[in-house]
Structure 1
Amino acid sequence: MAETVTVTLDEASDLCLRVLTGAGLGRRHAEAVAAVIVAGQRDECHSHGLYRLIGCARALATGRVNKAAMPKVIDSAPSILKVDADFGFSSYAYNEGIELAVEKARSQGLAAFVINNCYHFSALWPEVEPLAERGFAALALTPSHSWVAPAGGTKPVFGTNPIAFAWPRVDNHPFVFDFATSATARGEIELHRRAGKSLVPGLALDRNGQPTVDPAEALRGAMLTFGGHKGSALSTMVELLAGPLINDLISLESKALDDGLDATPCHGELILIFDPRVFLGEALGKNLARAELLFDAIIGQDARLPSQRRYQARLNSLHAGMSVQRSVYEELIALVKTLGASRNVCACERPA
């Protein structure tokens, strides 16, 4: 039996909505969550694709996520927009506030979009890439649970603390990067554990503070930052800008709030939106062209330009469907049935 199953985007979306609505989310809330999960799977970001649906269902089952959340949009200042997510998933709050945040960026040249009191489970690139497609540059930061040790330490302090950035390009996909300041994403360690595969060295420590390649021990111990002290410094920056600056939780506080339930991390998010048209005026075209000189210098020597591999994966998925780890797929189908969301024939279900 093959280790993977191929599904279409529609089947993946149907599966997400059945799980999420079966777990009690309203339709708009569920659609916002499903969209980012399907986007992750479509672009072969497997640790942030359909696998994340399992974690979302678990978080909903704990009762911590507000299934009836009503995000509140707060017009805080000419260049600051806040959305109180009402302890729902971040993607729902993002959808409720993003258009007003964009208006502020167009008016002021720069807008800070703050999401508070949210459960954040997804990659960050789905939040900045659409902004770049509309001509903006954008930077997103968020903490998580304290899973990562600082450089030179052995005890978890930081979250995986991702940073995402997007830059608009004319007649081309935006330049986008999205990476954890930890040496790898936690979801990748979890997928290795599920598959019975060892980690590469240098990613994690066990409970005794010793290096380990055992993913189960890594999940019980501490992850490491990428680049030693440099990743540790960047992770600290994320904690501060997406924590105290926006009056929300740092990763240590998010983990304490969880109190062992293993729910999705609860904290805040900061997205900075830059409008090059306001910054540059008539010099916009010239400077976008200068940016292309930089990209050409990278690609011209066959170096990797971040996001290019993901765009190719997206094209493949649109033509040939998306590959999903069979164990993940079967767990989700079982979850649909458990939640009673399959009273009608589930379009996503297929024989082994």
Structure 2
Amino acid sequence: MISIDDAFALCKSAALGAGASEDVALSLTTAAVAAESRGQKSVGVSHLFDYLDAMKEGRLDGRAVPVIERPTAAVFRVDARSGIAQLGFDRVFNDLVDAARTVGIALFSGRNSYTCGALGYYVERLAEKGLVALATANAPAAVAAIGAKRALYGTNPMAFAAPQGGGPVLLIDQASSATAYVNVRMAAKQGNSLPEGWAIDKNGEPTRDPVAALAGALLPFGGVRGGNIALMVEVMSAMSGANWSLDAPSWVDGNQCPGIGLSVIAFNPTLLDPSFESRLANHLAMLRSVHGVFIPGFEKADALAASVNRGLDIDDDMLQKLRTMAG
């Protein structure tokens, strides 16, 4: 076990050792440790190594300074310039919150970045400021639309968050595919089989072999409807000027940045209903206690509390690798 603070310091030092600037290392480490602390290991510290490898191999500019434009009072357009998506979001965050509170709605539109990491990270932060938020992001093609024999869309996640009075943020974060790419990669590493309906091989045939799935394509959840959502996310994310998933270079191989898009919309619910937070809290409590409904967000809050109390259970090999990279 390692404390959150110690893990943060180690991850930041490793990012600096991989060539990141101070600002990039801070933004990237904050996001990775936040995911790890909430039990999202596939997009936590293990995913940080994808960023560090990408810096070394040229897919990610670890010293890129995002270009920020504000064409209207409520629109923030950010070009990551082959860097990370998190840094541009961090730099406009306070202004984005102020704009949403004042105008009622505000938009962050990012392009030309490496992967966005845990998408829920962006909306959770806005919900903690009393805002309702929706985010979409595309990615290099890894998902086949129903009827297709090859990957056409990214895993194209959506995330949604809303504040509830006196309780954890309602937080929904899920891919348009049957599962996230990083989960398939982890299954391949651990030698585990995939459930039926998650993937096809390179010939377009159904497969439960994660290695064959990585060479083929994932499938959208819910058949055609999941594919429709993947396409919707694609349009929402790429309207920033980002690459379409089909045109995006790989995020795990080569020396070109994927150049993906990220859209985050923030709403001020109190302009519509001053009692929104308390009403949502009462409604979620009823759903959870009376009807036994799983309410997403509670499990991440519980995981975070446990991480604060006990520290993070990070694999010894990963810790040693981080120490080596940190020098």
Aligned counterparts, 1:1-352, within 5 A: 6-243=1-238, 245-255=239-249, 260-261=253-254, 265-278=258-271, 280=272, 283-285=273-275, 287-299=276-288, 300-324=290-314, 326=315, 329-331=316-318, 333-334=320-321, 336-337=323-324, 339=325, 341-342=326-327
Deviation at 1:264, TM superposition (A): 6.7
Asked if the contact 2:108/2:264 (under 8 Å) is kept, the reply is yes
**SS across alignment from 1:100:** helix
Distance 1:331 1:309, change over 3 A: closer
Structure-2 change in CA distance of 1:268 and 1:241 (3 Å): same
Does the 8 Å CA contact 1:52/1:121 hold for their aligned counterparts? no
- TM-score, with structure 1 as normaliser: 0.88
Q: Is the 8 A contact 1:201 1:212 kept in 2?
A: yes
Alignment-mate amino acid for residue 307 of structure 1: G
> C-alpha separation between the residues in 2 aligned to 1:77 and 1:207?
45
- Superposition deviation, residue 269 in structure 1: 0.7
Q: Is the 8 A contact 2:240 2:261 kept in 1?
A: yes
C-alpha distance in 1, partners of 2:198/2:120?
Answer: 23
Q: Give per-residue Cα distances to partners, 1:8-60, cap 9 Å, x unaligned.
A: 21232122112210111111110100011111111111111111022111110
SS in 2 for 1:177: strand
Q: CA deviation at 1:289?
A: 3.6
**Cα shift at 1:260:** 4.7
Q: Distance in 2 between matches of 1:297 and 1:168?
A: 16
Secondary structure of the 1:246 match is: coil
Residues 334 and 89 of structure 1, relative CA distance in 2, 3 Å threshold: same
Cα distance in 2 for partners of 1:209, 1:67 equals: 37
Question: Residue type matched to 2:61 in 1?
Answer: N
The CA distance in 1 between the partners of 2:233 and 2:131, in whole Å, is 21
Unpaired runs of 5+ residues, structure 2, are none
Counterpart Cα distance in 1 of 2:88 and 2:102: 22
- 2:157 counterpart letter in structure 1: P
Taking the aligned partners of 2:285 and 2:75, their CA distance within structure 1 comes to 35
CA contact (8 A) 1:160 1:182 kept: yes
User: How far is 1:294 from its partner?
Assistant: 2.9
Q: TM-score, normalised by structure 2?
A: 0.94
CA distance in 2, matches of 1:71, 1:295: 38
Q: 1:200 to 1:262 in 2, by over 3 A?
A: farther
- Give every structure 1 segment of 4 or more consecutive aligned residues whose post-TM-superposition deviation is greater than 3 Å: 262-265, 287-290
- Structure 1's unaligned 5+ residue stretches are 1-5, 343-352
The amino acid that maps onto 2:281 is E
Question: Number of aligned pairs?
Answer: 326
Classify 1:110/1:29 alpha carbon distance in 2 versus 1 (closer, same or farther; 3 Å).
same
Question: Post-superposition shift, 1:334?
Answer: 3.1
Deviation at 1:336, TM superposition (A): 4.2
Q: Is the 1:74–1:82 Cα contact (8 Å) retained in structure 2?
A: yes
Residue 332 of structure 1: how far off its partner (Å)? 5.3
Equivalent residues of 1:56, 1:121 under 8 A apart: no
Partner amino acid, structure 2, of 1:291: L
SS state of the match for residue 176, structure 1?
strand
Contact 2:11 2:322 in 1 (8 A): no
Instruction: State the secondary structure of the residue aligned to 1:7.
Output: coil
Letter of the 1:186 partner, please give it.
Answer: Y
- Once residues 69 and 210 of structure 1 are traced to their aligned partners in structure 2, the CA distance between those partners, rounded to angstroms, is 41
Q: Which moved more, 1:297-306 or 1:180-189?
A: 297-306
Q: Secondary structure at the match of 1:242?
A: helix
Change in CA separation of 1:315 and 1:259 when aligned onto 2, cut-off 3 Å: closer
What SS is found at the alignment partner of 1:65? coil
Take 1:276 and 1:162, find their aligned partners in 2: how far apart are those partners? 23
Identity %: 30
d(CA) in 1 for partners of 2:257, 2:170: 29
Q: Take 2:256 and 2:176, find their aligned partners in 1: how far apart are those partners?
A: 21
SS in 2 for 1:75: strand
Distance 1:321 1:83, change over 3 A: same
